[in-house]
Amino acid sequence: MDADDSRAPKGSLRKFLEHLSGAGKAIGVLTSGGDAQGMNAAVRAVVRMGIYVGAKVYFIYEGYQGMVDGGANIAEADWESVSSILQVGGTIIGSARCQAFRTREGRLKAACNLLQRGITNLCVIGGDGSLTGANLFRKEWSGLLEELARNGQIDKEAVQKYAYLNVVGMVGSIDNDFCGTDMTIGTDSALHRIIEVIDAIMTTAQSHQRTFVLEVMGRHCGYLALVSALACGADWVFLPESPPEEGWEEQMCVKLSENRARKKRLNIIIVAEGAIDTQNKPITSEKIKELVVTQLGYDTRVTILGHVQRGGTPSAFDRILASRMGVEAVIALLEATPDTPACVVSLNGNHAVRLPLMECVQMTQDVQKAMDERRFQDAVRLRGRSFAGNLNTYKRLAIKLPDDQIPKTNCNVAVINVGAPAAGMNAAVRSAVRVGIADGHRMLAIYDGFDGFAKGQIKEIGWTDVGGWTGQGGSILGTKRVLPGKYLEEIATQMRAHSINALLIIGGFEAYLGLLELSAAREKHEEFCVPMVMVPATVSNNVPGSDFSIGADTALNTITDTCDRIKQSASGTKRRVFIIETMGGYCGYLANMGGLAAGADAAYIFEEPFDIRDLQSNVEHLTEKMKTTIQRGLVLRNESCSENYTTDFIYQLYSEEGKGVFDCRKNVLGHMQQGGAPSPFDRNFGTKISARAMEWITAKLKEARGRGKKFTTDDSVCVLGISKRNVIFQPVAELKQQTDFEHRIPKEQWWLKLRPLMKILAKYKASYDVSDSGQLEHVQPWSV
């Protein structure tokens, strides 16, 4: 991206990475506490970004223990020392619990070891304990230096030269138990492991009509239990922050037997290892099993997942998150002054932010204190917006009130899938149907898109009809790319015949175009004067009005997994470059983010035009790379990035130019990117965003109740999306200006600002805009 890029914050001076220099600085990177998938991606980003800006970067092996022991435990890292670690779980530099660092004596040794190498910048990847230790070390630094000088271990010059220590933290913890950040490194990967196990258990449990009690990690935080319960539609969940009410034993048994009576062949109960009752007494998985067996006589099994959750390869989300945070951490260290407090780089929405480390630690400790004092509502509130939102959504979707207790609205709300299938669509439909029924509406399912709508393929859909849908890939309702334009008459007739009062459309760019067509036809057909809302679901992630769409994360994981396998095969044969074509239409999201997650050397996308000189420079870059120990290359190409530079053309060019240096292979990923079971992110995102859409529909219908109001204003036809940090409804009429209709993409796309990251981490010079970084924000407790 050029320096004159118009996306600059208005009225501010742009600030680029080129303005920051790491010359003469030394950065130490360590991983501490429990390991988490994605830590290696963070280490890689810190090392490469540090070297890129001219700093020296040192590995500190075995966490704080290595810092105290010194010697070979602190070693300089180079570019190649972090090659091929992106896809590896755990941490290659080791992690250990360290008693010595808890003593001043230990910290004195650590300071001495760092000074021998001139390290005054620390990047700590770990949990709250590790980060608190780093902060204490920073506070004591000048005192430790003076003591070392008194002992004659360093001279007076050194005391002045290394007068202060900068500390930046990244949170690596699978529990997602750190306040102030939406997601910690490793959480998404742990959810992948849990969901893989649950999907496998569901098939066996159904065969035998069994009840399964699954225990997941989370001694003090129920995030993993809660999100996995949401993502698999569990019957009951036990969390430390929100214990069940008195008499839960009976309630749970009633719920399980009701579900069996509704022909549900299996029950799944999820328990966090730290689950407690309102008296702070532990609720164990064995206790729950005994209860189900004695009260109901069901065949019940317990599965404790244990360390499986920490293992395996990191998900695409964790790799991108860790890479972004690693780069941000280096920038924070370069910008730090003696007065800058220790900070944590964290994620808010899709925005990287910096927060004061001790504010986050304090709030994390406040949660534990609230639980100890049995102030459970406060505990949920302090956990933040996303935790409380997940809990409310789970409660609404898991427990159905008896019909006679739900006040009827006499409104019919229809749900339709439009466009190509995307993993997570079914989770969105399930959520919409259940929230709609809980709100008192009659829910209608439209089969086979607008084509089916015109033909009258419309049926009422009930609470139990959508049971077990969250884990299903594709679209159970059926979906087509057909637009409503040529069937407006027939669709209006069907709307009238079924007296449809509101419409929820789940789909991709075709759904967006369809919504525009229905909105334009309101003058002619008053049947369309009802609230209409679209939830974006497409692997391409090209819907205006939303930074993310359902299905893109699953596709990204498919691409990343495939690239991992291909890289493995390439490193076996040596000197081989793979060219991989991804889907996405004209939108380069999958190619760009896939490149970042898989550690690609280049990613060609439509949004950033390229010519033969760029291709030539990439070939030269790979030729240089083949002289190092990393003798393989990976190049991604979006399917429509160029009319003439096709995958075949690029393959032939690389093959010709690389003769004698490397050989080439090509691979077109194709429709495997649309298939497969949805990832935890897509299940969760589809469930939550669809529930929000139904709440909006309910609110709109409530406004009009008894007034026979027609909906004609723009704000009654919206796209629901995530923008920066918020979930927002935007009228399609307003989004028209932001859309490039010819290429079916939004005119501005947030992920383009991450483009230079991929280039920097692949050893290219790139201009990276750091205007957004730098402001230290404060942790906002969220009021329920």
Catalytic annotation, residues: 175
Contact at 8 Å (CB) between 46 and 329?
yes
Contact at 8 Å (CB) between 449 and 417?
yes
Going by C-alpha positions, the residue among 393, 395, 394, 371 that lies closest to residue 381 is 371
**How many helices, marked H, and strands, marked E, lie in the chain?**
24, 24
Strands 236-238 and 726-731: unpaired
Structure tokens at 58: 């040192």
At residue 92, what is the residue type? I
Tokens 């036990």 map to which residue? 238
Distance CA 482, CA 155 (A): 77
- The DSSP output letter for 546 is -
3-state secondary structure of 109: helix
Radius of gyration of the chain (CA): 27
Q: Alpha carbon of 741 to those of 205, 294, 640: distances in Å?
A: 48, 62, 15
List b or e across 144-158, with b for residues whose CB sees 16 or more CB atoms inside 10 angstroms. bbebbeeeebbeeeb
Structure tokens at 59: 């590995």
Contact at 8 Å (CB) between 155 and 116?
no
In terms of phi and psi (left: phi > 0; alpha: psi -120 to 50; beta: otherwise), the region of 62 is left
Structure tokens at 154: 């360093």
Which residues 6+ apart lie within 8 Å of 734 measured at CB? 714
Contact at 8 Å (CB) between 381 and 388?
yes
Spell out the alpha helix ranges (H) of 220-284.
223-232, 248-261
Distance CA 509, CA 599 (A): 29
Going by C-alpha positions, the residue among 186, 85, 690 that lies closest to residue 413 is 690
Tokens 């965003």 map to which residue? 689
Going by C-alpha positions, the residue among 421, 423, 415 that lies closest to residue 445 is 415
Q: Alpha carbon of 571 to those of 254, 558, 561: distances in Å?
A: 56, 20, 16
Distance from the Cα of residue 119 to its chain's centroid:
33
Q: Alpha carbon of 385 to those of 48, 54, 182, 553: distances in Å?
A: 34, 39, 9, 22
Which residues 6+ apart lie within 8 Å of 600 measured at CB? 563, 594, 634, 635, 636, 758, 762
Structure tokens at 263: 């022909």
Structure tokens at 643: 């009319």
3-state secondary structure of 345: strand
Residues β-bridged to residue 445? 415, 459
Phi then psi for residue 604, to 5 deg, are -90, 125
Distance CA 731, CA 717 (A): 6
List b or e across 40-75, with b for residues whose CB sees 16 or more CB atoms inside 10 angstroms. bbbbbbbbbbbbbbebbbbbbbbbbbbbbbbeebbe
Distance CA 158, CA 764 (A): 35
Structure tokens at 246: 């008195």
3-state secondary structure of 542: coil
The torsion of the CA quartet 460, 418, 717, 407, rounded to 10 degrees, works out to: 20
Phi then psi for residue 43, to 5 deg, are -60, -45
